[in-house]
Amino acid sequence: MTVAYDPNNIFAKILRGEIPCEKVFEDEAVIAFMDVMPRADGHVLVLPKVTARGLLDIPPEALSALILRVQKIARAVKKGMGAEGITLHQFNEPAGGQSVFHIHFHVIPRWEGVALRPHSGAMAERAALKAHADKIRAALAEAQV
Ligand code: DGP
CATH code for position 129:
3.30.428.10
The verdict on residue 3 lying in a domain is no
The verdict on residue 102 lying in a domain is yes
Q: Give yes or no for residue 64 CB within 6 A of ligand 1.
A: no
The count of structural domains within the chain is 1
The predicted pLDDT at position 143 comes to: 65
The predicted pLDDT at position 97 comes to: 97
**HSE of 55 in the Cβ direction (CA atoms, 13 Å)?**
9
Which domain covers residue 18, as residue numbers?
10-112+120-143
| pLDDT of 145 higher than 90 | no
- Residues 26-36: what's their mean pLDDT? 98
Rounded to two decimals, the pTM is 0.97
Catalytic residue chosen out of the listed positions 43, 89, 102, 104:
104
Q: Whose CA is nearest to atom 19 of ligand 1?
A: 36
pLDDT in tens, 41-68: 999 999 999 999 999 999 999 999 999 9
pLDDT in tens, 74-87: 999 999 999 999 99
28-45: b or e for each residue (b if 16 or more CB lie within 10 Å)?
A: ebbbbbbbbebbbbbbbb
DSSP per residue, 38-76: -SSTT-EEEEESS--SSTTTS-HHHHHHHHHHHHHHHHH
| pLDDT of 132 higher than 90 | yes
Q: Mean pLDDT across the chain, nearest whole number?
A: 96
Report the atom number in ligand 1 closest to the C-alpha of 43. 10
- Residues 25-32: what's their mean pLDDT? 98
Reply yes or no on whether 104 is catalytic.
yes
- Residues 26-33: what's their mean pLDDT? 98
What is the pLDDT confidence band of residue 2, given thresholds at 50, 70 and 90?
Answer: confident
Ligand 1 centroid to Cα of residue 8, in Å, is 14
The verdict on residue 25 lying in a domain is yes
Q: Whose CA is nearest to atom 3 of ligand 1?
A: 98
C-beta neighbour count of 63 within 10 angstroms? 15
Mutate to test the pocket of ligand 1, among 45, 92, 102 (most ligand atoms within 8 A of CB): 45
Compute the C-alpha angle 65/10/100, nearest 5°: 70
